[in-house]
Amino acid sequence: MKNAWLLPIVLGLSVAPAPAQTTAELIGDAQTPEDVLTHSMGYDRMSYSPLAQIDRSNIHRLVPVWSASVMNEFGELAAPVVYEGVMYIINGRWTFAIDVDTGRQIWRTPVVLEEGTRRNPYNRGAPVIYEGRLFRITLDNHVVALDMETGGELWKQKFAESSEGYYSTGAPVLAGDVLISGMSGGESTTRGFLDGWDPESGTKLWRRHTIPAPGEPGSETWPTDSDAWQFGGAPTWRSGTYDPELDLVYWGTGNASPWNPEPRGGLDSLYASSVIAVRPRTGEIACHYQYTPNAAYDVDGADEHVLADVRIDGRLRKVMFQANKNGFLYVLDRTDCSLIAAHPFVEVNWATHIDLATGRPVLTDLLERIVAGERVAIWPSRGSNAVPIAFNPDTGLVYTSTWHVPRIVQIEPPQERVIG
């Protein structure tokens, strides 16, 4: 095994970062397996490769060729992208450009967090590369654009305050000529949102909150006699999926806060635990589907969605899949977010099934028992948890990881608070 250790400066490299990528290249990523320009090898997020050189007969012959440290004590949760022989890697500490043939470092740029940032610097998703720029998110709520050739910073924009409970561990998505980013912190009494940015200048184009304000569509699913909507969660902490043909971005949202539904009036709490279809130029929500109304089980819909054209009952349908944390695998029509099918893929005890006529889960008595203060086991703890699924368009099979364990929960009775 050959080890290629990272050095502060590497001279005489045979590969230099390529300066430009086009929208057409990004859209055609799945058809160019020599490059990996997007997370999951294509805007459809199928995580599918047509390459056939490595198969069951020879996979045992794979051996490491080189290794390189990426200088991160918190582990790697993000995926790299590859363009013309250069691999671009992000984590909570650094951004790297690495020669894929040798593992040599071409450049590295540190992530300099604001003083007082206390969370561990994790990072998920993958960097976005476009027209010579690399885009990423940092834990302390910044969108950053770097020069792909040098790693130098081109622009940096702050979108939220850590002191208010916001942080960010996800990755942006490029939809046409708009860069879209999300946020984390739904558990910290924040209000979720997506931002749209001009990738060239860093100018913010729009903000779309994932909890509607009073008077907006969906606000009837929040109490009218409190400000719960201002602190109700629905974070956008993973990444979205872009359909260039429909010009829609599908973004899953996290659960409502707190997961105890009583402060939220026992209402649906839109758009928590949902998928929203957003028009990238304006941030308008074109349609939505809520996976877990009331969001009372600490499961969310934030994981990425896979897009495919599938023949159903003799008709070709534009669909999207998600293996939800609530234990059901959903098939939705991505033109209008309507439900087509939903089946459990792990043990589920909070609902008996999903009613295809209403699109809503048919609940068991579990929620009533939780609200009553009983100690209960919720199945599943996580159906699938923060890991992308894969789809083989040749076989029509979906692949996902699963958790076969329950979560034990009990709502604590109100505590008397003594001030002073």
- Domain, as residue range, for 96: 1-133
The answer to whether residue 304 sits within a structural domain is yes
pLDDT of residue 32: 86
Q: Which of 133, 153, 183 is the last residue of a domain?
A: 133
The answer to whether residue 208 sits within a structural domain is yes
pLDDT at 413 over 90: no
CA gap 267, 234 in Å, rounded? 14
In this structure, the answer to whether residues 115 and 188 fall within a common structural domain is no
**Tens digits of residue pLDDT in 22-33:** 889 998 998 888
pLDDT of residue 419: 43
The answer to whether residue 148 sits within a structural domain is no
**Tens digits of residue pLDDT in 276-329:** 999 999 999 999 999 999 988 889 999 999 999 999 999 999 999 999 999 999
103 CB contacts (<8 Å, ≥6 apart)?
2, 4, 65, 66, 67, 68
pLDDT of residue 302: 94
Question: Is residue 88 classed as helix, strand or coil in its secondary structure?
Answer: strand
**For residue 50, what are its two tokens?**
């047509």
Distance of CA 139 to the CA centre of its chain: 15
The answer to whether residue 155 sits within a structural domain is no
The answer to whether residue 294 sits within a structural domain is yes
pLDDT of residue 13: 39
Mean local confidence (pLDDT), 63-70:
94
Average model confidence (pLDDT) across the chain: 92
Residue 137 near residue 171 (C-beta atoms within 8 A): yes
In this structure, the answer to whether residues 7 and 62 fall within a common structural domain is yes
CA gap 68, 57 in Å, rounded? 28
The answer to whether residue 166 sits within a structural domain is no
In this structure, the answer to whether residues 317 and 220 fall within a common structural domain is yes
pLDDT of residue 19: 57
Question: Within a 10 A sphere around the Cβ of 245, how many other Cβ atoms?
Answer: 12
230 CB contacts (<8 Å, ≥6 apart)?
191, 211
pLDDT at 47 over 70: yes
In this structure, the answer to whether residues 180 and 128 fall within a common structural domain is no
The answer to whether residue 139 sits within a structural domain is no
In this structure, the answer to whether residues 89 and 22 fall within a common structural domain is yes
CA gap 149, 233 in Å, rounded? 38
* pLDDT band at 74; cut points 50, 70, 90: confident
In this structure, the answer to whether residues 275 and 403 fall within a common structural domain is yes
Question: Within a 10 A sphere around the Cβ of 390, how many other Cβ atoms?
Answer: 17
Cα dihedral 308/311/316/320 (nearest 10): -30
The answer to whether residue 271 sits within a structural domain is yes
Q: Which is nearest to 300 in space by CA: 321, 269, 323, 272?
A: 272
Residues forming the active site: 298
In this structure, the answer to whether residues 125 and 197 fall within a common structural domain is no
CA gap 90, 79 in Å, rounded? 8
Residue 192: CATH number of its domain? 2.140.10.10
**For residue 215, what are its two tokens?**
């008077």
Structural domains in the chain (count)? 2
Least confident of 15-29, 79-93, 230-244, 289-303: 15-29
In this structure, the answer to whether residues 226 and 117 fall within a common structural domain is no
Q: Which is nearest to 405 in space by CA: 386, 385, 383, 389?
A: 383
In this structure, the answer to whether residues 193 and 64 fall within a common structural domain is no
**Tens digits of residue pLDDT in 343-385:** 999 999 999 999 999 999 999 999 999 989 999 999 999 999 8
Calculate what percentage of the chain has a pLDDT beyond 90: 78
In this structure, the answer to whether residues 53 and 193 fall within a common structural domain is no
**For residue 241, what are its two tokens?**
């999926």
pLDDT of residue 420: 40
In this structure, the answer to whether residues 261 and 178 fall within a common structural domain is yes
Mean local confidence (pLDDT), 219-239:
95
**For residue 223, what are its two tokens?**
């109490």
Q: Which of 74, 103, 133 is the last residue of a domain?
A: 133
* pLDDT band at 104; cut points 50, 70, 90: very high
H or E segment and range at residue 25: helix 23-27
